[in-house]
Amino acid sequence: MQLGILYGISVGTGDPELITLKGLRWLQQCPIVAFPAGLGDRPGIAQQIITTWLKPQQTTLTLNFPYVQDESILVSAWQQAAQQVWDYLKQGQDIAFACEGDVSFYSTFTYLAQTLQELHPEVIIKTVPGVCSPMAIASALQIPLTIRSQRLAILPALYTINELETALDWAEVVVLLKVSSVYQQVWQILHQRKLLAHSWIVEKATFPEQKIYRNLARYPRLQLSYFSLLLVKASDI
Ligand SMILES: C[S@@+](CC[C@H](N)C(=O)[O-])C[C@H]1O[C@@H](n2cnc3c(N)ncnc32)[C@H](O)[C@@H]1O
């Protein structure tokens, strides 16, 4: 029997219309649609984004990717998810995996795909690019992300504060993902560098509940959701 194909589909950062035509076509033509589970009983973020596009005859497959740092727990979850996906692929059924933002940009899909390739090298995987969060926040703020010869530094998270210092020394534009848990430390650095007026936080960009915080001098403390991102424009030129 011919193997099914695993499609990694970028579904955008919140607004369901931020999906490409190709992504939508592939999403709707797969009999199985997979996505990461949400927290508790809540639907996952990618699931929420694609709900309007799903057809009644499509089967949904929720995969568990725990929000933990422990490598052994993560590896075991990736293996379990890979097995669940493989069960359909080996029967010749195609699967669309919906990925929040872009599939190649700090995405859970990468771990699933790598694990699947290790366990079953014959697997066929295709991906569709899309809108990732730095692009989405630039649009939310109605400013260009970068202009002219500006250097852009993207930090996936902040493990030590030095990383932010180094990025600010090097780049004119800095984007920090996963800012929620380190916001107060980051605020102090921006304060010392007199960059608070040139910094923005966008929470849940392109979702109906999107929130924008401008001029961070007014916000030394913020309770932010995980889906928040910091943009710093260290120079206008
Ligand atoms: C694991 S990364 C996933 C990135 C995603 N694949 C993308 O293309 O943007 C999660 C981080 O991306 C950022 N993020 C993703 N979607 C966002 C959104 N709609 N609004 C603000 N930040 C977002 C947040 O900083 C969040 O902590």
Query: What was the pLDDT predicted at 235?
Result: 80
pTM: 0.95
User: Would the CB of 113 count as within 6 Å of ligand 1?
Assistant: no
Could you list the mean pLDDT of each consecutive 10-residue stretch along the chain, which spans 237 residues? Answer: 96 98 98 95 95 98 92 96 98 98 97 97 98 98 96 94 94 97 96 97 97 97 96 84
CA–centroid distance, residue 101 to ligand 1 (Å): 7
Contact 152, 235 (CB under 8 A): no
- Residue 68's CB: how many other CB atoms inside 10 A? 10
Closest alpha carbon to 107 in 232, 21, 10, 204? 10
Q: Do domains 5-128 and 133-233 have the same CATH topology?
A: no
Residue 226 to residue 223: CA distance in whole angstroms: 10
Pocket perturbation via mutation, ligand 1, pick of 11, 65, 100 by most ligand atoms within 8 A of CB: 100
Residue nearest atom 24 of ligand 1, based on CA coordinates: 227
Domains of the chain by residue range: 5-128, 133-233
CATH of domain 5-128: 3.40.1010.10
Arch. (CATH architecture) of 133-233: 2-Layer Sandwich (3.30)
What number of residues does the chain have? 237
Q: What is the mean pLDDT of the chain?
A: 96
Output the pLDDT for position 237: 60
Q: For residue 229, how far is its CA from the centre of ligand 1 (angstroms)?
A: 7
Distance 2 CA to ligand 1 centre (A): 35
Q: CB of 177 closer than 6 A to ligand 1?
A: yes
The Cα–Cα gap between 126 and 5 comes to 7
**What pLDDT score does 132 carry?**
98
pLDDT tens-digit series, residues 143-185: 999 999 999 999 999 988 899 999 999 999 999 999 999 999 9
User: Residue 206 region, left (φ>0) first, then alpha (ψ -120 to 50), else beta?
Assistant: left
Residue 14 Cβ contacting ligand 1 at under 6 Å: yes
> Taking the CA of residue 221 as centre, how many other CA atoms within 13 Å lie in the half-sphere pointing to its CB?
0
Separation of alpha carbons 171 and 124, rounded Å: 38
Rounded distance from Cα 189 to ligand 1 centre (Å): 22
Cα–ligand 1 centroid distance for 136 (angstroms) = 9
Burial class for 54, CB neighbours closer than 10 Å (0-12, 13-18, 19+): middle
Read off the amino acid at residue 113: A
